[in-house]
Amino acid sequence: MLGNSITFVIALITVIVWLTNKRFYIQDIHSCIGDVILGVAFLSLFIIQKSFNKFSASIHLKVNELIASHESASNTVITAEEKTELEINMLTKEYDDLVEQVIEKEKE
C-alpha cells in the first residue's frame, strides 16, 4: 500500500499543505530547514517502498520461472508469498528433512 503511486501523491499533497501552513513562515530558519528535511524523508519512504515492491516482485517472478522450468522441482513453493506463516514453517521443515536425507546419502 505504501508503494502505490496514489499514496505517494496523497503524501506529497500532505507535505505541501503542511509546509505552506502560515506557521511555517513565522518559524526561525532552523525549524524551517528541519521541517523541509522531515518532509523529504517522509516522501522518500514512499519512493523506497515502491522500488522495493518492484524488486521483490521481480525476484518472485525469477524464482517462479526457475521452479517451473525444472521438471523434478516441487511446485508447492511457487506461491510461497501467498501462504500463511504456518504453511511456510511446514514447508521449511520438509526441506530441512530433505537436506538431512541428502547429507545421510552422501555419508554412505
Q: Report the Cα 15 to chain-centroid distance in Å.
A: 23
DSSP 8-state class, residue 38:
H
pLDDT tens per residue across span 60-86: 778 777 777 777 777 777 777 788 888
Predicted local distance difference test score (pLDDT) of residue 22: 66
CA atoms of 18 and 34, how far apart (whole Å): 13
Q: How many CA atoms lie within 13 A of 97 on its CB side?
A: 6
pLDDT tens per residue across span 22-68: 666 677 877 778 888 888 999 999 889 988 888 887 887 787 777 77
For the entire predicted model, the pTM comes to: 0.55
CA-wise closest residue to 95 among 81, 64, 74: 74
Contact by Cβ (8 Å): 52, 3: yes
